Amino acid sequence: MKSESGISYSNPAVASCPKHLLQFAVDQRYDDYTPVDHAVWRFIMRQNIFFLREYAHKVYFQGLLDTGISFERIPRIEEMNEILGKIGWGAVAVDGFIPPAAFMEFQAYKVLVIACDMRQIHHIEYTPAPDIVHEAAGHAPIIVDREYSNYLQRFGEVGARAMSSKKDFELYQAIRHLSILKEQPNSNENEVAEATREVERRFANLGEPSEMALLSRLHWWTVEYGLIGSLDNPKIYGAGLLSSIGESVSCLESQVKKIPYSIDAMNQPFDITTKQPQLFVCRDFEHLTDVLEEFAGRMAYSAGGREGINKAIECANVATCQYSSGIQVTGIFDEVIVDRNQAPIYLHAKGPCALAYQGKELPGHGRDYHKDGFSSPIGTWKPTEIKPGKKTKLEFESGIAVEGKVEKLLERDGRLLVITFCDCTAKYGDRVLFDPDWGNYDMAVGDRISSVFNGAADKDAYNQVALVPKDRTIKVPSDVKRKKLENLYAQVRKIRETKKGYERLGEIWETQQAEHPEDWLLSMEIFEILDMTEEQPQLKVKIEKFLNDRKARTKDLTTLISWGFRLVDYHKKPEYQAALSASRE
């Protein structure tokens, strides 16, 4: 199968995704990753081996091996798909943040969305924007646990149905824009400040949070930033923590408050662009599912009725109301009439609308036909003979009356779904709900609204193309100077992998010192090779002095360089060599 962008998908989970989701898929453009990108990936992943073997959930490290994620280079999405396919999952590359509803629906199809950008060296500890470290090395390894992967898929199913408002989408756009600016090298401080204020404004004006907003919080505090086990000694399983070598260390310290996980986590907002001051700890993965089902039971898609319809009206977005018969009405709902007991007896949606059954649009009932809207009673009527070609009057128990000539009946699985009238009048007391001059009247059949959920019942047929963000993530331009630095990284990588050319390391380092004195990671890679091979001890001493000077003079590098030295010592140990060998198999 190929997407509209021409990307081929052989993974069954990805191939099963509808076109309204695959519009977000992009080509990974693997050859665009630079030697610096691969070096940053390698540094992060090797730090993870050191730290996360002890502090991550027990399934994480084995999951890295099982999903085919190399510690030495950025993974290819197609390689991951070959392995993920064995456990029924898949992955697609996307450009940065995608809308929450689309993200959730991908999960429902058992597909991980992987932001294919690679964080820059100045954000090596933590990136404000999603990147391939976060998605591939954070999310993918944990899904080898069957209970957790079931939770993730179920979360996607629930999230795809959550009611979402226009304000939610505006906030998403603001957060996405801010994350892009923060990731940009040498970003304009005034632009970042203004983008930060815009996010704050959107948060302040969000009003009563929608189902999607609340569910996004539960997702954040579990899938992204979750801890598991006891409050005194929790382990890490959230992808945001697993992919952040800075926050994976700091999150377990005492200043980060640990809170027992419950449905109350939905009331805790989060800031996606900074480290979290508190985290939630679940007992086990079954605990996650219990809380999710508790939340799902309160949602409009579970409850339906007047509360569900009102949520659809408040969100002012495309939504679907499903009758007890199974008929699904899609549109932007703007009115519900209730009886004296506050039970819904009539609903109205403005156009364009569509009718569906079991998620498939009914022939002749698409948005073009119902372009001016749709309205219909809800409830039962007094026993009346209904035959095509005959005039009929339906007297609903609510007091609504529908009278006209029956044109046709639409049934599915032995259920009457739609009655089409001509020359029809619908009234509720003195109020005219439908006039014969308006054309034929298609009346949905059902005694109650059993479910209300976000989006169209048949998104592809409804042509509900989600808004693909226009604000693209920022790539670091490779000018002449940058390309020379990338070439130095490539040379060092080749020397390390081929175990040849050690004599050239001194010349490479001197060039880096002369032309790229701000860089530190290349020096650390050369130091590592010299320490491992015991080559050129005098050069090793010079590089060690340079790194220690940088560590002392540059606050932002103090921890990173210390970690680099720690890793050089650790790589000699048998457990590290065993882990590295396993990652290469």
Which of 405, 436, 453 delimits the end of a domain?
453
The string of pLDDT tens digits covering residues 176-199 is 788 777 766 667 888 888 888 888
pLDDT tier for residue 5 given thresholds of 50, 70 and 90:
very low
- Both 554 and 493 in a single domain? yes
User: Is residue 64 located within the same domain as residue 123?
Assistant: yes
Which residues sit opposite 111 in a β-bridge? 90
Check residue 477 and give its pLDDT. Answer: 62
Query: Does residue 245 share a domain with residue 361?
Result: no
The whole-angstrom distance between residue 257's C-alpha and the CA centroid of its chain comes to 25
What is the separation, in whole angstroms, between the first and last Cα of the chain? Answer: 29
- 416 and 559 share one domain: no
Q: Is residue 301 part of a domain?
A: no
Residue 234's pLDDT is 95
8 A C-beta contact, residue 261 and residue 291: yes
Query: Are 383 and 525 members of one domain?
Result: no
Q: Which residue has the higher pLDDT, 577 or 377?
A: 377
pLDDT for res 468: 53
The answer on 485 and 444 residing in a single domain is no
Supply the CATH number for residue 49's domain: 1.10.800.10
Same domain, 285 and 333: no
CA dist 184 → 33, 117, 127, 476, 477 (Å): 16, 12, 11, 8, 11
pLDDT of residue 118: 86
Reference 238, options 257, 215, 222; nearest CA is 222
User: Would you state the structure tokens that stand for residue 466, as one six-digit string?
Assistant: 């989600």
Comparing C-alpha atoms, which of 350, 328, 348 is closest to residue 337? 348
Amino acid at 416: L
Band of the pLDDT at 228, cuts 50, 70, 90? very high
In a domain, 195, yes or no: no
The band of 498, judged by pLDDT with boundaries at 50, 70 and 90, is very high
Residue type, 181: L
Residue 312: pLDDT above 90?
Answer: yes
Contact between 292 and 215 under an 8 Å Cβ cutoff? The reply is no
User: Binning pLDDT at 50, 70 and 90, where does residue 6 land?
Assistant: very low
Distance CA 549, CA 563 (A): 15
Collapsed DSSP state (helix, strand, coil) of residue 473? coil
pLDDT at 435 over 90: yes
**Listed range (225-234, 248-257, 516-525, 535-544) with the worst mean pLDDT:** 248-257
* More confident call, 203 vs 58: 58
What is the DSSP pairing of strand 278-282 with strand 227-229? parallel
DSSP string spanning 333-363?
A: EEEEEE-TTS-EEEEEEEEEEEEEETTEEPT
CA separation (Å) from 396 to 86, 103, 268, 446? Answer: 54, 42, 45, 11
Q: Has residue 200 been placed in a domain?
A: no
Q: Which residue has the tokens 């991980």?
A: 112
Give the per-residue pLDDT at 185. 65
| Residue for token pair 């309205």 | 375
Rounded mean pLDDT, 468-491: 76
pLDDT at 583 over 60: no
Which phi and psi angles does 72 have, rounded to 5°? -95, -25
* pLDDT of 258 above 90: yes
Residue 235 sits in which domain range?
A: 12-164+210-293
Tell whether 105 and 35 lie within a shared domain: yes
Query: What's the confidence (pLDDT) of residue 198?
Result: 87
Number of domains in the chain: 3
Q: Which of 402, 401, 418, 400 is nearest to 410 (CA)?
A: 418
User: DSSP strand E in 245-378: where?
Assistant: 257-260, 278-282, 319-323, 327-338, 344-357, 360-361, 374-377
Residue 536, both tokens? 């050129």
- Residue 125 forms part of a structural domain: yes
- Structural domain contains residue 169: no
CB 11 within 8 A of CB 81: yes
Instruction: Give dist(CA 343, CA 336) in Å, integer.
Output: 10
| Residue position matching structure tokens 């598991």 | 228
- CB 435, CB 402: distance < 8 Å: no
- The answer to whether 457 touches 356, Cβ cutoff 8 Å, is yes
Q: Is the peptide bond before 100 cis (omega within 30 degrees of 0)?
A: no
Instruction: Examine the domain organization and report whether 388 and 537 are in the same domain.
Output: no
**Residue 468 neighbours by CB under 8 Å, 6+ apart:** 23, 24, 98
Alpha-carbon distance values, 564 to 527, 529, 557, 570 (Å): 10, 12, 10, 10
**Quick check: is 468 in a domain?**
no
The pTM for the full model equals 0.84
Q: Is the pLDDT of residue 552 over 70?
A: yes
Q: Do the domain assignments include residue 190?
A: no
Q: Distance (Å, rounded) from C-alpha 351 to C-alpha 373?
A: 4
Instruction: Take residue 304 and report the two structure tokens written for it.
Output: 């339906």
The residue count of the chain comes to 585
pLDDT tops 50 at residue 151? yes
Q: How far apart are CA 393 and CA 439, in angstroms?
A: 17
In the prediction, which pLDDT does 471 show?
A: 53
**What is the three-class DSSP state of 415?**
strand
342 and 433 fall within a common domain: yes
Average pLDDT over residues 312-328: 95
Residue 114 lies in a domain: yes
Query: Do 392 and 437 belong to one domain?
Result: yes
Q: How far apart are CA 549 and CA 227, in angstroms?
A: 37
Report which residue type is found at 536.
Q
Distance CA 238, CA 261 (A): 13
User: What pLDDT is stored for residue 137 in this prediction?
Assistant: 83
**What are the tens digits of pLDDT across the range 336-373?**
999 999 999 999 999 899 999 999 999 999 999 999 99
The tens digit of pLDDT for each residue in 12-55 reads 999 999 988 998 898 888 999 999 999 999 998 888 777 788 88
Average pLDDT value over all residues in the chain: 89
CA 446 – CA 579 distance, rounded (Å): 60
Q: What pLDDT score was predicted for residue 173?
A: 79
**Lowest-pLDDT range, 71-75, 343-347, 460-464, 489-493?**
460-464
**Cα 551 from Cα 531, distance rounded (Å):** 19
478, 489 Cβ separation under 8 angstroms: no
CB atoms within 10 A of CB 497: 10
Average pLDDT over residues 78-97: 89
The answer to whether residue 539 scores a pLDDT higher than 80 is yes
Percent of the chain clearing pLDDT 90 (strictly above): 60
Does pLDDT of 59 surpass 60?
yes
- pLDDT tens, position by position, 370-423: 999 999 999 999 999 999 999 999 999 999 999 999 999 999 999 999 999 999
Residue 261 shares a structural domain with residue 359? no
Higher-confidence residue: 266 or 181?
A: 266
Token digits for 489?
């990284």
Sign of CA dihedral 32, 489, 524, 180: negative
Which of 125-134, 226-235, 492-501 comes out lowest in average pLDDT? 125-134
Report the distance separating Cα 38 and Cα 44, nearest Å: 10
Distance CA 106, CA 193 (A): 33
The predicted structure's pLDDT at residue 383:
94
Between CA 233 and CA 154 the distance in angstroms is: 28
Percent of the chain with pLDDT over 70: 92
- Tracing tokens 């304009």 back to the chain, one arrives at 188
Residue 183 is predicted with a pLDDT of 65
